[in-house]
Structure 1
Amino acid sequence: MEWGIANGFFLAVILVLTVFWAKFKGDIGELAVTYKLKDLDKEKYRIIHDIKLKNMGGSTSTTQIDHIVISTYGIFVIETKSYKGKIYGKEKSRTWTQYLSNQKNSFMNPIFQNYAHIRAIESILEDSYPEMTYHSIIAFSGGANLDAIEVTKAKVCKIRYVSEAIKDLSTEEVIGKEDIGKIIEIVEKNKSHQTDLTHTREIKKVKKENEEKIKDNICPKCGGNLVEKEGKYGKFIGCSNFPKCRFVLSQKKKS
């Protein structure tokens, strides 16, 4: 019994330290973005930093958004990534890859991640602003090499260029200045007060559940069967419900 209590306490400490370290690394990138966004015209752009919203239809109860820029040109949703090294990724790939020295690490496609953020904002604004324009921006730290990233719709850039990216996308005004304050009010009313620790626990739980589903050849996205298919670049494991579900587990190159 005592060992069980001690073991539980130890695991809790590890979780808290993991959350703290991840938040510390993330905070540095978010602070850098906050500084860069000061270049924007305050009359046409208003910014909300680090907010959690209710996640309508998502696997977790909340979604955490690094930065929302509300402007007359639409809403810019920014996901910050503090990754260094060479980054490989495609717009529709499930995961992207980081090469750092001799290490190779996979991480969730941040475009998918940011799409969930946009959906959360869309769900609370659809009644008042059904025709709103949304822009997805992924901002990486200065130590990242982004040459191997292939995207067309989302904007991927380094943190130091984030305000320039927003200005480049600001081509057509879709709302008036008076609407900016109204949208901020709606967003603030719908923010969640869930703690970072609870949010992280939810994410870990969902990740574990998805891993179990994949082991049983079940698609974690729609519940369909995972089957081996032959694609343009070789064999891969994907969802049997394609094209309705585009989940892909892995791809093997032909030898």
Structure 2
Amino acid sequence: MKHGKKYNEAAKQVDRSIQYEAADAIALAKKTATAKFDETIEVHIRTGCDGRHAEQQIRGAVVLPNGTGKEVKVLVFAKGDKASEAEAAGADFVGGDELIPRIQNEGWLEFDVVVATPDMMGVVGRLGKVLGPKGLMPNPKAGTVTMDVTKAINDIKAGKIEYRLDKSNIIHVPVGKASFTEEQLSQNFGALMEAIVKAKPSALKGQYLRSITLSSTMGPGVKVSVAKF
């Protein structure tokens, strides 16, 4: 893959033969974020899990202490009092059946997270083919299927992120922006890693965390030492 001049200059600052301590990796990922916009700092965790087995699946959520630096739009499927509660809690969009054709037929996807009360999952289930592939399907494990819509909305707005295995058994998650301080990024990274370590499937044999890489949106990957975890 060919990279631009900026990327190549940034890549020269990273020694690919070593695994950095987390703090040093964060500093490097920040330093090599040279784009004209505020790049996202992302973590990519390669696991030893086999996601084809249900007992080795990893899925959950964690609230990053310093948020993600991104304004998150929340859609809530609820009715009656719960719909009013969601509106009061600051949900960006609230509705029920009437949203189905808008999402299914008109391709409306102007939201980042979907929350639903359990009684609305029958309705939301009809959107499985649209929301599923985009990772937007509400899930009890991620706290997005709940009667406590206020807590769900507050957590998401405060910087709650979901993590899950992709098809290659890698977890990709943002831990903040390049404009964050190293301390803010370190705190977010620490909170994420604590949650990932706790999520280790008991059925897994062998090494759990194979590699951890930090990178900015446009920058090179920086390997993080997995020894500590």
TM norm structure 1: 0.24
Q: Which has the higher contact order (CA 8 A, sep 6+)?
A: 2
Higher strand proportion, which one? Answer: 1
TM-score (norm 2): 0.27
Computing the radius of gyration from Cα coordinates, the structure with the larger value is 1
